[in-house]
Chains A and B, each alone.
Chain A
Amino acid sequence: MNKMANLVHIPEVKDVARKTPIEVFPDPKIAVVLTNQQSGATNLPLVKVGDTVAIGQKIADTKERVSAPVHSPISGKVIKIENAFNSCFEAPTEAIFIENDGKKTKDKTLTPIKESELATTKVEDLLKIIREAGIIGMGGAGFPTSVKLAVPADKKIKQILVNGAEGEPYDTADERIMIERTANLVRGVRVIRKILGNPKVIVVTKDSKVEAVPKLQEAFSKEPDTEVIAKHLTYQQGDASMMQKAILGYETPAGKRSYEMGTIVQNVATINAIANAVFEGEPLISRVTTLNGDVANPKNLMVKIGTPIREILSANNVTDCGSVVVGGVMMGTALQTLDAPVTKRTSSIICFNKAHAKPKKPTACIHCGRCVDACPARLQPVAIYNAVIKGDFAKAEKLWAKDCIVCGTCSYVCPARLPLAANVKMARS
């Protein structure tokens, strides 16, 4: 039975933002750089209060394997190291506060290579650049990219899926990257192909991205063994496992990683960052983020990581903030404070005005079964929810709570507004 037919369509709300070119946002006066933005091992600060840092200087790192360092986005002085709200973990964590000196001094630790040198560069060196540039999955997962790309030698990668679906409603940052940085994406993909032993490349995007599709088709037409697929995809199919099902037709067995199926899925923002690191020597210190929601002018901004969200909102005259969500309205985090900074995973900043932002009021379940029908992972969200409410985590596990992809569709469709996704997510971890 093809259960994919049940995928819930969620309105895109991207009409204005997707047509708005990326605008460079000014550097912050004080950058708040969270020492941990990746999933994996914990970073420790490499600088102390009073130190002077340059743009791109590594300021926090660890020796653990599954890790990615963070860098200073501006030049200036470390004024304090204390906790700030971290949207990646929905809690305050350690941050390095840097006061901008306006000198724009650059750190030159990362040595870029020329495009012509790519063929002769060793894979280890490329992986090292990616690791030292602090690149992590920018689609939301935050997994260190150098670790993901270091596939065991006995596993042959058959294809790379370039994930340009950008399923999250409101978000258009990836779409603008595909439109404006197409050439950069092409060379980023070349790097990944080289690392993974020249597999086939499939660039996947949605047919609704009418400006991006022809750009991608043109730019990738000259690349060997590369295909651009632009088709109708639902929000859920932006997930790596769902995308493999939609494009390649198989379901990755639970518990297996996609490389074991011969596939690597890489988000376009991440590929853009890889190209910047390898060919420009630029670590991950800025990203494109979409400002959308109840704002007069939805737009896409190139912002420095560490820029306080408050600065971005006030510079764009967004004053009526009832709720501010970063990283997507379906899977992202609602900020507890506007002092929270932009992170490597802040794909968007969505503001809901006070009239639209209402605290959720869950009511009793009416057993309509909508969540069961809608779940792309074919779980029974309401059953897991009931187990979690009773504290019966053993039962939640039996109901395969671990297989949840945290897409939020169950909560989206629930007519009783139950926090299903949040509870299943809790059971999962």
Chain B
Amino acid sequence: MSNESQLVVNPAPHIHSPMTKNRMMQLTFFAILATLIVSAALWSQVTTTSGWNLGVTVVVCIIIAVGLAVAFDFLIGKAAADSEVNTWSAAVFGLIVVACYTLGVPAMNTETGLPVEAPLAFYYVAIITLLGLVVFKKVMSLAGRKPVNPAAAAKFLVLLPSLPATLLAVDHLSTGPLGVPSLAGPIGAAPTAIGTNGMAGFGSYLQGCYANPMNMMGSLPSIEQLMILEKYHGWTGGACSIAVIIAGIALFAIGRKYFKWKITASYLIAISVASIIFSLIFGDADLTTRLLFEVFMGSSIFMAFFMATDPATTPYSGIGQIIFGVGLAILTILIQTFMGFFGGSLLALLIMNLTVPLIDKVRINKPFGR
């Protein structure tokens, strides 16, 4: 009889798919890490005015964010008896904080947002990490499902004080001497001088913003090359769009149905279609400039693959994920076009996150035999 009490009695089923939460988080961690390594390598060519190498800055940011996230997750897990210690999940969160933080050289920053270079950027990354982990990841999940993406929410909260200035700056610049064109008007690759919508062409603005600041002499790379291959300003995670796409698709291929690729696909399709429609409405000089900007800017491409697909803050049904992706695309383009908030996908994501409980109620497929 001695072995009887030791028999393990679980409810059926008694076997499981090899996929666990931890494994999902590990895969996500390495996918995002891969894109950040590409960013750091690309940006190691740049030294900012404060004397910091931009590639090294990325690496230090990763160490700070991941280190703090994992440490605090562990401490909270130990302090609160009913809290799980999710080391991999915390590490992924740390990486996302870094990936959605804007770095570059200050001269390229047309906005007066958060500091874009070390050492000030380190403090902000640390603040966003702690705020996001403690408030949006741990405290909010006490009540069940997390309502919003913790990294996006924390960044937005920290960004909030400087937001009016950011919006005003973009608006002001469109009529000022620099002549940054507003997206709510006709744009094109070359200087257009269409009406009053900026002196510089939107394409020239993108080139000035995203090209390698160490190499501004001579001819600038094409808009396509910058948007798809190398951006030296903006979201850390989105420096190389093609790297994000490859890492993202690899993650979906390995993780199969455990990752919400339908959100990414529907978002990318919807934002492409919306860009083309806006181009036609505003009478752009070409159809590609707006499209390249809306699809491949760091906040768009990185979010599409790694933030909009966060399992906890997105719908669980297939149809819900498509609604979410399309909604995110429409909100993003509206915010960027009419509010002049470049990187507005952050706000769009938070709004869409809040609609998830409603989207989850949408049923297209009736149960079997009904």
Tell me if A334 and B368 are in contact (CB < 8 A).
no
State A251–B367 Cα separation when bound (angstroms).
10
* A328 contact set on B, CB distance < 8 A: 12
The reply to whether the CB of A333 lies closer than 8 angstroms to some CB of chain B is yes
Q: Which residue of B lies closest to A406 (CB)?
A: B12
**Which of A10, A333, A358, A368 has a CB less than 8 Å from the CB of B8?**
A358
Tell me if B7 and A322 are in contact (CB < 8 A).
yes
Within A360-412, which residues are at the interface with B (CB < 8 Å)? Answer: 360, 363-370, 372-374, 376-380, 382-383, 400, 403, 405-406, 408-409, 411-412
Tell me if A365 and B145 are in contact (CB < 8 A).
yes
Tell me if B13 and A369 are in contact (CB < 8 A).
no
Tell me if A380 and B12 are in contact (CB < 8 A).
no
Tell me if A373 and B15 are in contact (CB < 8 A).
no
Q: Min CB distance, B4 to chain A, in Å? A: 5
Within B310-334, which residues are at the interface with A (CB < 8 Å)? Answer: 311-318, 320-321
The stretch that binds A, out of B19-27, B59-67, B198-206, B297-305, is B19-27
State A19–B326 Cα separation when bound (angstroms).
52
Tell me if B312 and A366 are in contact (CB < 8 A).
yes
The stretch that binds B, out of A93-101, A104-112, A217-225, A413-421, is A413-421
Q: Min CB distance, B128 to chain A, in Å? A: 22
Tell me if B312 and A367 are in contact (CB < 8 A).
yes
* A322 contact set on B, CB distance < 8 A: 6-8
* B370 contact set on A, CB distance < 8 A: 253-254, 400, 403
Q: Min CB distance, A316 to chain B, in Å? A: 16
Q: How large is the interface on A (under 10, 10 to 19, 20 to 34, 35 or more residues)?
A: 35 or more
Q: Min CB distance, B73 to chain A, in Å? A: 13
Q: Which residue of A lies closest to B313 (CB)?
A: A367
Tell me if B258 and A400 are in contact (CB < 8 A).
no
Tell me if A241 and B16 are in contact (CB < 8 A).
no
* B317 contact set on A, CB distance < 8 A: 369, 372-373, 380
Q: Min CB distance, B72 to chain A, in Å? A: 18
State A311–B284 Cα separation when bound (angstroms).
82
* B6 contact set on A, CB distance < 8 A: 322, 354
Tell me if B145 and A334 are in contact (CB < 8 A).
no
State A334–B318 Cα separation when bound (angstroms).
34
Q: Min CB distance, A401 to chain B, in Å? A: 10
Query: Interface code A7-50, partner B: CB below 8 Å = 1, 0 otherwise?
Result: 01010000000000000000000000000000000000000000
* B20 contact set on A, CB distance < 8 A: 415-417
Tell me if B311 and A366 are in contact (CB < 8 A).
yes
State A286–B272 Cα separation when bound (angstroms).
66
Tell me if A334 and B316 are in contact (CB < 8 A).
no
The stretch that binds B, out of A131-139, A270-278, A296-304, A335-343, is A335-343
Tell me if A369 and B311 are in contact (CB < 8 A).
yes
The reply to whether the CB of A186 lies closer than 8 angstroms to some CB of chain B is no
State A332–B15 Cα separation when bound (angstroms).
11
Most central of B19, B23, B321, B367 by chain A CB within 10 Å = B367
The reply to whether the CB of A203 lies closer than 8 angstroms to some CB of chain B is no
Q: How large is the interface on B (under 10, 10 to 19, 20 to 34, 35 or more residues)?
A: 35 or more
Tell me if B367 and A379 are in contact (CB < 8 A).
yes
Q: Min CB distance, B121 to chain A, in Å? A: 30
Tell me if A403 and B13 are in contact (CB < 8 A).
no
State A254–B145 Cα separation when bound (angstroms).
32
Tell me if A332 and B14 are in contact (CB < 8 A).
yes
State A301–B368 Cα separation when bound (angstroms).
36
Q: Which residue of B lies closest to A252 (CB)?
A: B369
| Interface of chain B: mostly helix, strand, loop or mixed | loop
Tell me if B21 and A412 are in contact (CB < 8 A).
no
Tell me if A373 and B23 are in contact (CB < 8 A).
no
The reply to whether the CB of A119 lies closer than 8 angstroms to some CB of chain B is no
Tell me if B13 and A329 are in contact (CB < 8 A).
yes
Tell me if A323 and B257 are in contact (CB < 8 A).
no
* A324 contact set on B, CB distance < 8 A: 7
State A415–B23 Cα separation when bound (angstroms).
9
Tell me if B10 and A254 are in contact (CB < 8 A).
no
Tell me if A352 and B312 are in contact (CB < 8 A).
no
**Which of B8, B9, B11, B19 has a CB less than 8 Å from the CB of A415?**
B19
Q: Min CB distance, A298 to chain B, in Å? A: 15
Tell me if B311 and A323 are in contact (CB < 8 A).
no
Tell me if B15 and A360 are in contact (CB < 8 A).
no
The reply to whether the CB of B260 lies closer than 8 angstroms to some CB of chain A is yes
State A400–B312 Cα separation when bound (angstroms).
24
**Which of A252, A358, A374, A408 has a CB less than 8 Å from the CB of B12?**
A408
**Which of B24, B258, B311, B369 has a CB less than 8 Å from the CB of A403?**
B369
* B257 contact set on A, CB distance < 8 A: 370, 373-374
The reply to whether the CB of A359 lies closer than 8 angstroms to some CB of chain B is yes
The reply to whether the CB of A422 lies closer than 8 angstroms to some CB of chain B is yes
**Which of A3, A369, A378 has a CB less than 8 Å from the CB of B316?**
A369
**Which of B3, B16, B145 has a CB less than 8 Å from the CB of A412?**
B16
* B364 contact set on A, CB distance < 8 A: 1
* B21 contact set on A, CB distance < 8 A: 363, 366, 415-416
Within A303-340, which residues are at the interface with B (CB < 8 Å)? Answer: 321-325, 328-338
* B109 contact set on A, CB distance < 8 A: none
Query: Interface code B246-259, partner A: CB below 8 Å = 1, 0 otherwise?
Result: 00000000000110
The reply to whether the CB of A142 lies closer than 8 angstroms to some CB of chain B is no
* A369 contact set on B, CB distance < 8 A: 260, 311, 315-318, 320-321
> Measuring CB to CB, which residues of chain B are less than 8 angstroms from any residue of chain A?
3-4, 6-17, 19-21, 23-24, 84, 141, 145, 257-258, 260, 311-318, 320-321, 360, 364-370
Given A368-B24, A379-B367, A412-B13, 12 more A-B residue pairs with CB atoms under 8 Å apart are A323-B10, A330-B13, A330-B15, A338-B7, A358-B8, A366-B311, A369-B315, A369-B321, A372-B316, A413-B16, A416-B21, A421-B11
27 chain-A/chain-B pairs, Cβ below 8 angstroms = A1-B364, A10-B15, A256-B369, A323-B10, A324-B7, A329-B12, A329-B15, A330-B13, A331-B12, A332-B14, A334-B7, A334-B11, A335-B7, A336-B4, A336-B9, A359-B8, A364-B84, A364-B141, A366-B24, A373-B318, A382-B316, A413-B17, A415-B20, A415-B23, A415-B24, A415-B258, A416-B20
* Pairs of residues from A and B, 7 with the lowest C-beta to C-beta distance, nearest first: A369-B316, A408-B13, A422-B11, A323-B8, A357-B8, A368-B311, A377-B368
